[in-house]
Amino acid sequence: MERKFKAAIFLTILIFAAAAILNSCKTNDSNPKTEDNGHSANTGENAADPESAHSIPDNLPERDFGGYNFRMLIFENLNEYGSGMYIEEENGDIIDDAIYKRNKTVEERFNIDISPVYYPRQWDNRMDGSKSIIAGIDAFDMMFLHMRVAFQYAERNLLVDWFDDMPYVDLNAPWWSQDAVQDLSLFGRLHGAGGDISAAKLNNTMCLFFNKNLFQSLDIEYPYIDVASGKWTLDKFMSIIKNGSGDLNGDGAITPDADRYGFGMRNIFYYPTTVPYCGGDKVIKKGNGGEPVLSIYNERTMDIFEKLLEILGSGAACVAAEKNWGNPQGAPIFNDGRALFADGIMGEIITFRALEFDIGLLPTPKYEESTPKYNALIEAHGGLIAVPVTVSDFEAASIITEALCAEGHKIIIPAHYEKALKTKFARDDESSEMLDYIKNSGVYDYGYAADNITLELGSIGYYFLNNPNFASLYEKNEARVQANLNKLSENN
């Protein structure tokens, strides 16, 4: 009798334990932020988790560098959208104070002084830092470079290889972008890294903004549910655009100075450049031997560009550009409250906060529902961290660079992403959730970054609007680009 009673209790415990496990699994499966059939909002790399971030060790050795002056070459106005690397003193701003705290933490830990070496952000000055390197002068220890400029430095053999010359940098750590390591390296060499050393990568991930007031007045449902369910596609986006235009002044024509558009592209670069990535394609992918292979020309990208022409040809969308794509004067259609959508980069949520109407954020739509994830280009101002070959102490350079990125992950990114973007600047809970999708959509492309090699194909969407024949544009560049790639492979 006693044995049966004990067996019954044991069986009851097993049943309750199994139920608890099943319930736990069910809870996780039903949480769209944890697992959503490949459309995860929070499972991307470098997810901003302020609590867990502080517990991740950087495994760096203790060093006293005796007050060494660690010099960072950075843009003169890199602090735009809170993407900065250096702040002189605390000023009460959430993001600025986080940057200041990060630098002070590293300075005190290793007994160094961090100082900026500024260079103008204008494109004409992009190679200013190269002069001292070519002359063999040890002028700075680390550089934050425009992504494409970093590849121009690398082409001139002015940058160290992160795999061989940065002994204390752990590129597998969560503060370094694994996509950048994988997609921007070739032949076992990496000359520029992306990561949480600043918020520039986040802020320069391309996305969409929409006018919530116009959506409400036109009785159009916000696309939030479609995004979460993986149904925010190019066709869905186009259907909303076409329903959004309107002849407001009744003159029988839709013009950018007075009427409403479904999509007011703010320049010829943002959306046209990122749209070919929506299906998961890239200009350059690695072949089986690790060699660079042209991969942008296929049926999917041809269809994507046909859809881009369809959007523009419908009269419901226009581009602020010098060409005749509907808005040659660059009228601020979205800012005036006369466009459902505008293209841009994530950091612009900070400046759009000043608009008088309510805005929402969305990731760039996928090509189709079966596309595994949302994909958007990280614009080149998202930058790369590089180290010049003239550095005299690679140990010090690698230790301090690793520490700056690790502390950026722990201090800057949580402050910028969780406290500023998601809490202070996002206007509703849904937009805050959309930031996760946008953050995880960012992609790097060797072909985009190395446009000195890929020529017009490196910004194929931009050049497509000047030559709206995808096959013709590709054929015009293919032979020269392939010759550049063959030369690159031969030299490696």
CA quadruple 258, 261, 263, 267: dihedral, nearest 10: -20
232-243: average pLDDT: 96
255-272: average pLDDT: 91
CATH number given to 206-377+452-490: 3.40.190.10
430-445: average pLDDT: 91
Which pLDDT score is estimated for 324? 60
Do 271 and 345 touch, CB atoms closer than 8 A?
A: no
CATH number given to 50-203+380-442: 3.40.190.10
Do 86 and 200 touch, CB atoms closer than 8 A?
A: no
pLDDT band of 34, cuts 50, 70, 90: very low
**72-106 tens-digit pLDDT:** 999 876 666 667 899 999 999 888 999 999 999 99
484 vs 325: which has the higher pLDDT: 484
32-48: average pLDDT: 37
Which pLDDT score is estimated for 47? 41
- Residue 410: closest CA among 60, 83, 52: 52
Do 363 and 434 touch, CB atoms closer than 8 A?
A: yes
Fold match flag (50-203+380-442 vs 206-377+452-490): yes
User: What is the C-alpha separation between 350 and 126, in angstroms, rounded?
Assistant: 26
**109-136 tens-digit pLDDT:** 999 999 999 877 655 556 778 989 999 9
Which pLDDT score is estimated for 420? 77
Provide the residue ranges of all domains of the chain, joining segments of one domain with +. 50-203+380-442, 206-377+452-490
Residue 353, pLDDT > 90, answer no
Write a three-state SS string for 99-166: HHHHHHHHHHHHCEEEEEEEECCCHHHCCCCHHHHHCCCCCCCEEEECHHHHHHHHHCCCECCHHHHC
pLDDT band of 390, cuts 50, 70, 90: very high
Enter the tokens of residue 274: 């990122």
Which pLDDT score is estimated for 129? 82
What does the mean pLDDT of the chain come to?
Answer: 86
Q: What is the DSSP letter of 214?
A: H
**193-235 tens-digit pLDDT:** 999 999 999 999 999 999 999 999 999 999 999 999 999 999 9
